[in-house]
Structure 1
């Protein structure tokens, strides 16, 4: 069992979320949006998209601190005890494995590329992914305390390296050139906001896993906002600026072009490390719930998530990133809509349930997932959360919980 007290300060929570946001996908989304937006438009999209996620993240975190529940435990009241463990726990566990694999594969590609170009040493992507996957998962196995300390060490390093790389890249480039950049294509702000929400919504849903340790609900909210929003906007902006200057949207290639291979490798490894340990940790908690294991087995399930994720990285899960991201962005965010509707608009004040399957919650979640899969709307990721919450509220009014629940 983790020796973690429920008295974490706001800056401790902020450090965790900065470590989560300080990732290659955060840079990648900036370099992607800039292909169809001006820099100012991309920044506006970042502020709006991340603010939306912070709203539902904060609502979940308040209840997580109040009851000291992780994400799966928080979902039990609306999905049922077994329903939450099987549906929510398994989805979070599998999603974490896949995300761990993607990040590990990125680290492996980066490490191999730099070793080849800087030192003329051939180090296969498979071997590199395996090496860094093992290093990353061992950090997560030891629990929240070590995740926190990793971020204390890594966050300042990431900031220094990113700022320095930006300074090097901006040499000989006027800021007017960047501001006058005009994309060849155009994307609406709403569509861009939907992309941002889809990327980080998973982090919002698993936020109770970390924020439950905060001293107070206010501490959790302040720490999340301070740790996430400035970092998210900054990393998106940096990714966009680097893409404008270097003329490519491939983040690994962008850093390879900077000309300082050790610095580039350090950035790429650190940003994947800090966010990957969160994936393994949350995945371990999810599988713990799915298989009805006690807290003492959390290190074992975390190790399993990391090792399976590492194997996915070794076999090249990065090549399937887009397809995987589409599925995960459809299935996970609607969970938040159901939980929020239950705790804030439901009438019950109990924090426990005696039902195995809460069909109101499950049906509402499926409604939200269907919206994301079936509609081509630019804001389908946002609609998934809203629709699942709306369905839950309406069904709760139409039916008593015991009517649509089943006790095994």
Structure 2
């Protein structure tokens, strides 16, 4: 298909990534680690940290992050093999028009997080530097548009920022963890701390899995650049199991030792206030640019445009407006609720790829694709209902039930079609 932009300029929002544009495992791992180093993930870890004894807390974090990493890695494998992002995979799973449902859910969730991150950066900078409150709104506008610069450039911009930010954040986290372990009295002291806010194991794993499952579902926006399925799986597990696990561990440690789950407050308590501001800035920027990039890719499919850079700026403007209006205060509960409805999208995509397409997609923009894939939409509804009503690990239930429902409906539909065809032949 011919279009006006140069190859790769817009990061292939509506077509497979060609072999010439594929990236190494190091490049991909850095970008994904920058994405998973996210302040909100530390708060999730903090909630777990105050609810369990030290050894049980480590087990909950291990299981939750392993489930999240495995989920994201399977989608990453599909993305690398096909060269497609989640928005384009959804066209096969839900249909040309049906895919707009997942575009809306995923795009809105990401721009909601973007609003939250923008507001958080502005408010905490004012708080920690003693600036006048009147600076808050101008800083929101500054960060709202500033954070999107690397996303505007594209994958190359995300990679260069991550090359600088990820090593710096790892060093800062290591310093903070070592001080926390010392302040907590070492392993013996940590093991002796009594939980203050009990929480069920299933609820805790759901929290760890669910907080970043939206990002895991859209990590395909980068893993589609992988040179092989193996590269994608390694990079995704490094980011979502190790990277996200590190974030939840920092939050849990802080909650245990300082009764704080926010990394900035923890660093202030440790006498690292200046480093805390730097950490927060890098932490948020490397996630903010990824979230607005996700929004842009979903938006390109929804509005059938290749102008990813324009959609990126529009996304930043919407996120900034939401931050200025104060919507971040009530968006978070809604975004977490959406975390229940996002995993079934991944479940349907997995089943659609392996069962219906036998690991071989066609042209994602083909007019031959149905407007609505009834099997995919029905399986998504079943998976979402199961996740919403489940007392167990909701995101995992959503993925498994949606995938199983798709496979069963697809196989049953094929059997009915074959029987009809045989009946017609007999006549």
TM-score by length of structure 2 reads 0.87
Task: List aligned pairs for 1:68-107, cutoff 5 A.
Answer: 68-84=83-99, 86-107=100-121
Secondary structure of the 2:212 match is helix
Name the CA distance, whole Å, in 1 between partners of 2:391 and 2:228.
38
Q: 1:167, CA displacement in angstroms?
A: 4.1
Aligned position for 2:301: 289
Q: Is the 8 A contact 1:18 1:227 kept in 2?
A: yes
1:292-336 C-alpha deviation (Å, 9 max, x unpaired):
112xx0011111111111221222233224422333202211100
Q: Is the 8 A contact 1:43 1:233 kept in 2?
A: no
Of 152-161 and 220-229, more deviation after overlay is shown by: 220-229
Aligned position for 1:299: 309
* Match 1:22 to one of 29, 37, 45: 37
Secondary structure of the 2:193 match is coil
Secondary structure of the 1:248 match is coil
Aligned position for 2:218: 206
Q: 1:169, CA displacement in angstroms?
A: 4.6
Secondary structure of the 1:28 match is helix
Name the CA distance, whole Å, in 2 between partners of 1:334 and 1:70.
16
- Runs of at least 4 residues off by over 6 Å: none
Q: 1:383, CA displacement in angstroms?
A: 0.8
Instruction: Mark the runs of 5 or more structure 2 residues left unpaired by the alignment.
Output: 12-19, 363-367, 418-427
Q: Is the 8 A contact 1:111 1:269 kept in 2?
A: no
1:147-177 C-alpha deviation (Å, 9 max, x unpaired):
0111000011112222233444555541122
Is residue 2:176 matched to residue 1:162?
Answer: no
Name the CA distance, whole Å, in 1 between partners of 2:125 and 2:235.
32
Aligned position for 2:67: 52
Q: 1:187, CA displacement in angstroms?
A: 2.4
Is residue 2:160 matched to residue 1:149?
Answer: yes
1:28-65 C-alpha deviation (Å, 9 max, x unpaired):
11111112112222221222122212222222222212
Aligned position for 2:286: 274
Aligned position for 2:337: 327
Q: 1:8, CA displacement in angstroms?
A: 0.7
Instruction: Mark the runs of 5 or more structure 1 residues left unpaired by the alignment.
Output: 404-408
Task: List aligned pairs for 1:5-404, cutoff 5 A.
Answer: 5-84=20-99, 86-116=100-130, 122=133, 124-169=135-180, 172-175=183-186, 176-294=188-306, 297-346=307-356, 351-352=361-362, 354-373=369-388, 375-400=389-414
TM-score by length of structure 1 reads 0.90
1:238-273 C-alpha deviation (Å, 9 max, x unpaired):
211112222234554334433333211111111111
Greater radius of gyration (CA): 2
Q: Is the 8 A contact 1:10 1:223 kept in 2?
A: yes
Aligned length: 396
1:95-139 C-alpha deviation (Å, 9 max, x unpaired):
1111111111221222111121xxx55553322222211110122
Name the CA distance, whole Å, in 1 between partners of 2:174 and 2:357.
50
Name the CA distance, whole Å, in 2 between partners of 1:361 and 1:130.
40
1:206-261 C-alpha deviation (Å, 9 max, x unpaired):
12111000111111111111233222222222211112222234554334433333
